[in-house]
Amino acid sequence: MAVTTTTKITMPLTLIFRAICARCVFLLLAIGLSLPAQADSRNLAPGFGDLPKGATILVMPPDVELFSISAGGVSEPKADWTEAANTHIHGALEKKSSSLGLMTRELSEKDADDLAEINTLHAAVARSIALHHMSGGNFALPTKDGKLDWSLGNAVQPIREKSGADYALFIWVRDSYASSERKVAMFALALFGVGITGGMQTGYASLVDLRTGQVMWFNKLLRGTGDLRDEESANETVKTLLAQFPESK
């Protein structure tokens, strides 16, 4: 089990990304932490404002992991928290879509298996959007001209064929919580002027038009607060994640 994660340590996606992650992502962290999760026109593709009423959204199986951080900083996966989070996210999404008059559909595991390549493709695009579009000006791509302008093109056709939906919603969340020992450690270290993270909530949500492959709406989350473990706080997190989600008319 352990060794399979070795490759995740050398997680950079390309030659350069390896270098980025070693240093600059900390930078991102610094920027991200200082900026609240802002929702504005950056979240929407140009010219896209509303979802047509009656549109169907396919909710791709959310990729969610919740961890607990022990005193020494070991991240430990928490299945019960993750399961609870999945339930809450699911519930919040349902509420959201019914309030918008939208229909949701879900993908079976078998279908998700078949669509694996498109999923991995979307994940790569989402990471670029998060880095180059949502993270303040530092990494903005001049050719995108400040716009949310990414499209998966006809790669999404198989999703549309399988589901008949008009849009697909992708959700990815990684969330960690300081255990009580960790909180004690934080307090102790703070006395010596050393700051360590208590826990971070990071994730994105992305809405893709299945007719064109265009990413119509995107939101990124990166903060030191938020809780997906209990229903009320989870609803708040989902609300933040889905901030500026297009209305339906």
For residue 188, how many other CB atoms are within 10 A of its CB?
11
Q: Which amino acid is at 174?
A: R
Show contacts with other proteins in window 107-146 (CB under 8 A): 109, 112-113, 116-121, 123-125, 127-132, 135, 138-143
Q: 40, 47, 110, 153: which one contacts other proteins (CB under 8 A)?
A: 153
Pairing of strands 201-209, 167-178: antiparallel
Is 150 one of the binding residues for other proteins (CB under 8 A)?
Answer: yes
Least Å distance, CB 53 to other proteins, is: 29
* Binding track over 23-62 against other proteins, x by CB under 8 A: xxxxxxxxxx------------------------------
Nearer to other proteins, 58 or 64 (CB): 64
Q: Which of 221, 131, 224, 220 is nearest to 176 (CA)?
A: 224
Least Å distance, CB 23 to other proteins, is: 6
Copy the structure tokens of residue 16.
């350069």
Is 190 one of the binding residues for other proteins (CB under 8 A)?
Answer: no
Is 169 one of the binding residues for other proteins (CB under 8 A)?
Answer: no
Show contacts with other proteins in window 223-242 (CB under 8 A): none
Nearer to other proteins, 211 or 249 (CB): 211
Least Å distance, CB 164 to other proteins, is: 21
Angle between helix axes 231-241 and 79-99 (nearest 10 degrees) is 60
CA distance 184 to 7: 32
Least Å distance, CB 69 to other proteins, is: 7
Least Å distance, CB 193 to other proteins, is: 9
Nearer to other proteins, 102 or 221 (CB): 221
Judge whether 247 and 51 are in contact, CB under 8 Å: yes
Q: 47, 161, 191, 195: which one contacts other proteins (CB under 8 A)?
A: 195
Least Å distance, CB 15 to other proteins, is: 6
Q: Which of 133, 141, 145, 157 is nearest to 206 (CA)?
A: 133
Nearer to other proteins, 83 or 94 (CB): 83
Where residue 50 falls (left for φ over 0; alpha for ψ -120 to 50; beta otherwise) is: beta
Judge whether 97 and 53 are in contact, CB under 8 Å: no
Where residue 221 falls (left for φ over 0; alpha for ψ -120 to 50; beta otherwise) is: beta
CA-derived radius of gyration, the chain = 19
Contact region with other proteins (CB under 8 A), list: 71-79, 160-168, 227-235, 236-244: 71-79
Is 155 one of the binding residues for other proteins (CB under 8 A)?
Answer: yes
Which element (helix H / strand E) includes 157?
helix 157-163
